[in-house]
Amino acid sequence: MPFVLALVACRHSKLSDNDFYESLIKRDGVSCLLLASTFSYAQDLSCVDAKFQACQYNMAMNLGLNDTVSAQLFKDYTIMYNYFLYMFGRNPGQTADMLTVCNSLETFNLCMHGNRGCLDISNLIKKTDINNAYAVEATYRQYSSFNCGPGINTLEHEGLTCPQRVLNTRQNILQGCVQTYITNTANDATNGCKYGQDLMNCWSAPFQAASCRRENGVATWWACEQNKVFVKTTFPSCPLACDEKFGPFFGASASWLDTHHKIVEGEHWFKMPDTVEKRDGQLVTVDGVWLK
């Protein structure tokens, strides 16, 4: 059954709180992965922490992570972000590791039924610092709302290998892009939309520069779109857009690669967006570094 159709089929299924432990059982396929994300968050923002911890533990076990890490999944964004990134690109041309991530999120979403107040930013902030809280929420949405839905559907249809190869070989670039975004929005949240556009440009650049043949436009759109989801989780009113062929590289961002990508002795180099730092109470712009 196609993934999107399966999502429609399971939108009306219900899970009572009494079915909590049954929801922890591994299910076949990813048909109901976005069950929780298709519904609006409940108005009740209360959080049963013990249940939240149990759901995190089971997700960590399904992902192959240890129980020590499980307690940090929603406290340190780099754990979820870096591991999901690694799994999505680990075996180019194959979906098994991608589906491991998506199945784990499916189980987690079902487990959290009736307890989704724990995922509200007001509760996440109580468990960690504000920067990690927003980044964890954005990472969770990035995969639950896009990568494990329309994102994986698109890649399966248009071609997996090239985008996954970029994920596999350019993890340091992609991680650098998001870390720069988090630093900049932490120091200068007023300009969050600008830094969000920078993130979309930075993260999409390796895909646009790759030799993806027929997948080229799709790969760049996919990279752009998931980062749009990431940014709009925190800054929902930002006017961000991704072109089907050029990703973020149109309009004011059309010439981004001219100044942020170069090839030196056959090696692709990518320039990070400039970083905004606070020094003696003042904002100072630091030139972005080049990474390969």
Residue 25 has pLDDT above 70, yes or no: no
Q: Say what the pLDDT of residue 4 is.
A: 35
H or E segment to which residue 57 belongs: helix 49-63
Least confident interval from 36-45, 173-182, 206-215? 36-45
Mean pLDDT of 30-36: 35
Chain centre distance of CA 212: 22
pLDDT of residue 67: 86
Q: Is the pLDDT higher at 38 or at 216?
A: 216
| Choice between 46 and 268, residue whose per-residue pLDDT is larger | 268
Residue extents of the structural domains in the chain: 1-158, 170-292
Rounded to the nearest integer, the mean pLDDT of the chain is 86
Q: Please state the pTM of the whole predicted model.
A: 0.83
Number of other CB atoms surrounding residue 257 within 10 Å: 17
Q: 262 vs 9, which has greater pLDDT?
A: 262
What's the pLDDT at 7? Answer: 33
pLDDT tens digit sequence for 50-99: 999 999 999 999 999 998 899 999 999 999 999 999 999 999 999 999 99
Binned at pLDDT 50, 70 and 90, residue 44 comes out as low
Burial class for 211, CB neighbours closer than 10 Å (0-12, 13-18, 19+): exposed
pLDDT value, residue 2: 35
pLDDT at 227 over 50: yes
* Residue 177 burial by Cβ neighbours in a 10 Å radius (0-12, 13-18, 19+): buried
Q: State the pLDDT at residue 257.
A: 97
Least confident of 7-16, 172-181, 182-191, 258-267: 7-16
End-to-end CA distance of the chain: 40
φ/ψ of 278, rounded to 5, equals -100, 120
